[in-house]
């Protein structure tokens, strides 16, 4: 049995496995390279024909850059996730859930909810957005 890894010139491992027959001639697609070692495509990369372990991923919104061999923050993914959560929170306020509940609120309660909604809309203006987001706290139902 012959272990193999198919990878791109930048080091990204595409697939790996074991050939049952040692005389089996592995074929790579155009632009792919083959190394006779076994590796994990999700945890390894190739650098100068050596299998290297990826450093620990710093967070969900990071992607591995095979050219620099480092994790890079993906602003777009983080922004989309933050806006999605913000939009869910915006749609769950009492003025969006129940007009009757909203009508029964005091003016102070309405103002608290209006400020909360504005704070949600303003998260994209925070200095470290979307790396760090300070989420506003919703007013309590009785406040």
Distance, in Å, from the CA atom of 46 to the CA atom of 128, rounded to the nearest integer, reads 34
All residues at 6 or more sequence positions from 32 whose CB lies less than 8 Å from its CB, including other chains: 6, 7, 8, 14
* Number of neighbouring beta carbons within 10 Å of residue 4: 18
* pLDDT tens per residue across span 9-51: 887 877 777 777 655 566 677 777 666 666 666 678 878 777 8
Report the chain's mean pLDDT, rounded to a whole number: 83
Other C-beta atoms closer than 10 Å to the C-beta of 61 total 20
Kindly tell me if the per-residue pLDDT of 7 is higher than 70.
yes
Is 0.85 surpassed by the pTM of this model?
Answer: no
């Amino acid at each position: 049995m012959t272990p193999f890894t198919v990878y791109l010139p930048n080091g990204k491992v595409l697939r790996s496995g074991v050939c049952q027959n040692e005389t089996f001639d592995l074929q790579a697609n155009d632009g792919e390279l083959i190394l006779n070692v076994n590796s994990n495509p999700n945890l390894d990369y190739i650098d100068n024909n050596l299998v290297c372990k990826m450093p620990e991923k710093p967070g969900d919104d990071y992607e591995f850059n095979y050219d620099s061999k480092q994790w890079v923050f993906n602003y777009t993914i983080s922004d989309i996730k933050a806006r999605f959560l913000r939009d869910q929170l915006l749609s769950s306020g009492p003025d969006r859930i129940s007009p009757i509940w909203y009508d029964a609120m005091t003016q102070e309660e309405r103002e608290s909810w209006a400020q909360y909604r504005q704070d949600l809309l303003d998260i994209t203006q925070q200095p470290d957005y979307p790396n760090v987001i300070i989420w506003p706290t919703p007013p309590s139902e009785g406040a």
